[in-house]
């Protein structure tokens, strides 16, 4: 896809995506009609709702979603206790054929999950492969319901089992095999290395984070409540993006495999963040559940504008540029010194910065007679708490100071 002189197409483990924006395996890819509609609107790729053999007998609960909202009412997180597809496999096989016939240029990936039995995995691979699908994504990462059956995250949390099943699949797969990893592990890099050694062609990460989203304190019941009860579920949305970024960076540092980044992506800026730490494509789910497929227009336009402004011609030029700037904590400079600097023209005189500095910082901010915050640079430790809590972004900047002379150098 060419737009404003930049090429948004991406080569990902031998597959050419029109653009890097992919619908992840989730409710937005519940059936073939939905995927076709998404492709018609410009999505570069899609991953089917996870398919399994009929012996899994999937029955979903109602309700199965719950959200967390920010102080201003904005949606920041979603928990789900939804399982893999409950639609018959034979129906999916026909729909995949139809999708590929109508949209041959868009990349369609089949998400797979079944019992940890070699014959079952290889049977499922052969059945789905015959449809002409472009690649497989092995779901080793669903954190709820499926692990109780010994699959999903139960596989992704065990490097040995994950590598074994990857080998089973690679024995019969004639198309790329992507392994989707769980963040619910101590070291995702270890699992990534294991599936790389087993022959995986790429890795996608992350799946949802295992959580208990909340309790109804009046009814004293966990939510989402199903006839008075609930279970731990998978958390997604903006709140998990820092976890996803860390996991993708760790995978990029641990392996040489292409990565599809997932987790809390809502904007083109979020997508670029993932690319900068190693992702070649990005997957979205929760943002679509909150706003619909139409967000693709802003994603494409925003990425193209960013690339044009920075002189990038291809998406791959962005991938991994921030990785060399990640280091061990002990290697971070102790000579670099910043202090808070308040812009009096932007200050709304609410004294929040002074309160938090006194109660959770270094008492470096005082409120003058004019109600404007004043910073004592000798006391300021440069932690930036005041900047983070200030309701007027840009009012407080962190000023780089020359320690030897104590003179201001620049704002950051």
pLDDT by 10s per residue, the chain, length 412: 888 899 999 999 999 999 999 999 999 999 999 999 999 999 999 999 999 999 988 999 999 999 999 988 999 999 999 999 999 999 999 999 999 999 999 999 999 999 999 999 999 999 999 999 999 999 999 999 999 989 999 999 999 999 999 999 999 999 999 999 999 999 999 999 999 999 999 999 999 999 999 999 999 999 999 999 999 999 999 999 999 999 999 999 999 999 999 999 999 999 999 999 999 999 999 999 999 999 999 999 999 999 999 999 999 999 999 999 999 999 999 999 999 999 999 999 999 999 999 999 999 999 999 999 999 999 999 999 999 999 999 999 999 997 543 344 444 4
Candidate list 142, 347, 353, 380, residue with the active-site label: 142
| Predicted pLDDT at 405 | 36
Question: Please, which residues bridge with residue 80 across strands?
Answer: 65, 234
Cα gap 228→33, rounded to integer Å: 35
CA–CA dist 273, 265 (Å, integer): 9
What per-residue string of b and e applies to 192-208 under the rule 16 or more CB within 10 Å gives b? bbbbbebebbbbbbbbb
Q: What is the pTM of this model?
A: 0.95
Contacts of 96 (CB under 8 A, 6+ apart): 32, 48, 108, 110, 128, 131, 132, 133
333-411 folds as Alpha-Beta Plaits (3.30.70)
55: nearest Cα among 152, 123, 109, 133: 123
The ranges assigned to domains in the chain are: 2-325, 333-411
DSSP annotation of 239:
G
- For residue 119, CA distances in Å to 125, 240, 300 come to 10, 35, 42
Under a CB-based contact definition with an 8 Å cutoff, are residues 189 and 162 in contact?
A: no
CA distance 251 to 1: 28
406 Cβ contact partners less than 8 Å away, ≥ 6 residues apart: 377
Query: Which secondary-structure segment (H or E) carries 167?
Result: helix 159-172
CA distance 158 to 142: 14
DSSP 181: P
Which residues neighbour 219 within 8 Å (Cβ) at sequence distance 6 or greater?
Answer: 225
Relative orientation angle of helices 118-129 and 89-102, to the nearest 10 degrees: 40
Q: Which residues contact 238 (CB under 8 A, 6 or more apart)?
A: 76, 77, 264, 266, 286
Bridge partners (DSSP) listed for residue 279: 259
3-state secondary structure of 260: strand
SS3 content of the chain, % helix, strand, coil (to 5): 35, 25, 40
Q: Compute the distance between CA of residue 143 and CA of residue 83 in angstroms, rounded to an integer.
A: 10
In what helix (H) or strand (E) does residue 248 lie, and over which residues does it extend? helix 241-254
DSSP code of residue 146: G
Please, what's the b/e burial string for 278-295 (b: 16 or more CB within 10 A of its CB; e: otherwise)?
bbbbbbbbbbbbeeebeb
Concerning whether 142 is annotated as a catalytic residue, the answer is yes
Q: Which CATH class is domain 2-325?
A: alpha beta
């Amino acid at each position: 896809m060419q737009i404003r002189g930049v090429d948004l197409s991406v080569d990902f483990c031998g597959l050419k995506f029109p653009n890097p924006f992919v619908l992840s395996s989730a409710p937005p890819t519940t059936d073939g009609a939905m995927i076709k509609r998404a492709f018609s609107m410009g999505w570069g790729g899609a991953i089917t709702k996870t398919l399994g053999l009929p012996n899994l007998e999937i029955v979903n609960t109602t309700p199965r979603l719950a959200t967390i909202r920010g102080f201003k009412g904005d949606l920041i997180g979603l928990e789900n206790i939804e399982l893999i597809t409950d639609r018959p496999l034979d129906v999916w096989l026909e729909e995949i054929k139809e999708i590929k016939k109508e949209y041959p240029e868009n990349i369609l990936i089949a998400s797979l999950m079944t019992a940890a039995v070699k014959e079952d995995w290889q049977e499922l691979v052969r059945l789905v492969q015959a449809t002409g699908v472009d690649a497989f994504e092995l779901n080793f990462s669903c954190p709820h319901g499926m692990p109780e059956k010994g699959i999903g995250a139960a596989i992704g949390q065990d490097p040995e089992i994950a590598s074994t099943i990857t080998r089973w699949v690679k024995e019969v797969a004639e198309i790329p095999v992507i392994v989707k990893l769980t963040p619910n592990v101590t070291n995702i890099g270890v699992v990534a290395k294991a599936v790389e050694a087993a022959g995986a062609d790429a890795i996608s990460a992350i799946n949802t984070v295992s959580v208990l989203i909340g309790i109804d304190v009046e009814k004293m019941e966990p939510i989402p409540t199903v006839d008075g009860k609930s279970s731990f579920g998978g958390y997604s949305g903006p709140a998990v993006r820092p976890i996803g970024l860390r996991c993708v960076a760790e995978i990029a540092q641990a392996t040489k495999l292409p990565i599809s980044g997932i987790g809390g992506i809502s904007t083109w800026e979020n997508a670029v963040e993932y690319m900068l730490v190693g992702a070649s494509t990005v997957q979205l789910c929760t943002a679509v559940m909150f706003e619909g497929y139409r967000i693709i227009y802003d994603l494409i336009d925003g990425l193209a504008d960013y690339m044009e402004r920075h002189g990038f011609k291809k998406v791959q030029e962005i991938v991994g540029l921030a990785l060399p700037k990640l280091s061990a904590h002990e290697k971070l400079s102790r000579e670099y010194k910043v202090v808070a600097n308040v812009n009096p023209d932007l200050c709304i005189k609410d004294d929040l910065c002074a309160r938090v500095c006194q109660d959770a910082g270094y008492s470096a901010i005082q409120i003058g007679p004019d109600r404007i915050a004043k910073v004592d640079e000798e006391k300021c430790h440069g932690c930036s708490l005041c900047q983070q809590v200030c309701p007027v972004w840009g009012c407080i900047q962190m000023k780089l100071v020359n320690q030897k002379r104590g003179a201001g150098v620049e704002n950051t």
